Amino acid sequence: MTRWMLGIALVAFLGLGTSCRTTARYDRASATILERSGEAGSERYTIQSGGKLLISRKQRQPQGFLGVSTQTLSLTRAEQLGIDPFEGVFVEAIDSNSPAKRAGLLPGDVLLEIHGKAIHSKDQFRYLIANSPLDVPVQLLVRRGGENRVIDAELEQRYEDEDSKSLVRLDSQSDTRMVGMEISTIPEDLVREIWEAEGSSRAIVSNVVVGGPAYFSGLRAGDVLHSCNGRMISTAEEFFTEIRRAGDGETVEVVLKHSGDNTPMLLEIEEDFQGGTWFGIPLLVGYESDHRHTDFGLLLGGLLLDYESEYSYTPDREPSSRSEFGLVLDLFEIETDDDSTCISLLWFINLRFD
């Protein structure tokens, strides 16, 4: 029994033929689908993971403008002026060349009423001014020097941006086994609103698994799908139906819908792509591999021989590969990428071939 236990412990220590699995990790990045602006304001549509569509709007609204800076009456100032607290607002400053200036308002005035409606705070006063009609003068009850007087002022029109946000939940499907991506369906009514175009619903990438086939194919959140293997795609269900038709190791053509033209991209299906394998004999041999990276070393983590290769993707969605091979502390080293090959001898002799 003791021998068996020692043998099992030795095999575990050496790490022979051990496989491991990584956990799917979504990119979690949101992406702006479309943003536009005009005289009336602006709007932005952002796709988020989990099939969420965030709609942000800034609308320019016409408002009345008087041109005064006010403060709500404090208890101390109200007592000094002989006014009940929170009955009126105190005028701190008057804008030059403003309706308030032309109407004769002065700093130190207390505004008690507007169109016969009592004023209790500066926020209420600002709201009443902003929403007053512009075609008739605004009537203000003003307290000055212990006496009340009525002052009429003609408001000007100004524009203010009003922000609004709404979150729409879309139908979505995700896969973390074959392609590593989440697809959401934008319904017809939102297609008309976002792109101002008639047509059916659209399928959009709402997230990708970092390091998955979709990620390395260059697909990113915000990409709108046009077709898959020649079949038009308008929903998440249609896309994953096409993916399931293809087998492990097959490559499908995914065409993205871009303004002006469509962009084809190749997506390789990798069954259970998250699996990885490592093999090791401590201090002697080390081997690690997954679907995009391979690393092999002999003697103390590669001091005698070291080989490493990886496949990645550039920010502009161009595929990129790189490999390195080195012997004896990299006294002899070969490094290759998509553009060139470099051979190094004794650390200082370098030969480069483009």
Tell me the pLDDT tens digit for each residue of 128-169: 999 898 888 999 999 998 889 999 999 998 888 788 899 999
Of 154, 188, 216, which closes a domain? Answer: 154
Whether 214 is covered by a domain: the verdict is: yes
Whether 49 is covered by a domain: the verdict is: no
DSSP 120-172: --HHHHHHHHHTS-SSSPEEEEEEETTEEEEEEEPPEEEEEEEEEEEEEEPEE
Whether 277 is covered by a domain: the verdict is: no
Q: Are the C-beta atoms of residues 55 and 166 closer than 8 Å to each other?
A: yes
pLDDT digits (tens, 9 = 90+) for 25-44: 555 568 999 999 887 788 99
Please count the structural domains in the chain: 3
Q: What is the mean pLDDT of the chain?
A: 82
Question: What is the residue whose two structure tokens read 């952002």?
Answer: 46
Q: Which residue has the higher pLDDT, 17 or 328?
A: 328
pTM of the model: 0.56
* 187 plus 261 within the same structural domain: yes
d(CA 227, CA 244): 15
Burial class, 1, CB count within 10 angstroms (exposed 0-12 / middle 13-18 / buried 19+)? exposed
CATH number at 233 reads: 2.30.42.60
pLDDT of residue 113: 93
Whether 50 is covered by a domain: the verdict is: no
* 111 plus 189 within the same structural domain: no
pLDDT digits (tens, 9 = 90+) for 250-260: 999 999 987 66
Query: What is the extent of the structural domain holding 349?
Result: 292-353
* 198 plus 135 within the same structural domain: no
Residues 6+ apart with CB under 8 A from 38: none
pLDDT digits (tens, 9 = 90+) for 307-349: 888 766 554 556 677 888 888 777 888 888 878 888 888 777 8
Whether 38 is covered by a domain: the verdict is: no
* 178 plus 230 within the same structural domain: yes
* 148 plus 185 within the same structural domain: no
Whether 58 is covered by a domain: the verdict is: no
Strand 305-313 relative to strand 293-298, pairing: antiparallel
* 176 plus 258 within the same structural domain: yes
* 255 plus 318 within the same structural domain: no
Length of the chain: 354
d(CA 298, CA 296): 7
Encoded tokens for 291 = 């679907």
> Please, what sign has the CA dihedral across residues 190, 191, 193, 198?
negative
Residue 195: φ, ψ to 5°: -100, 0
Whether 258 is covered by a domain: the verdict is: yes
d(CA 337, CA 346): 21
CATH number at 148 reads: 2.30.42.10
Whether 260 is covered by a domain: the verdict is: yes
- Tell me the pLDDT band of 173, cut-offs 50, 70 and 90: very high
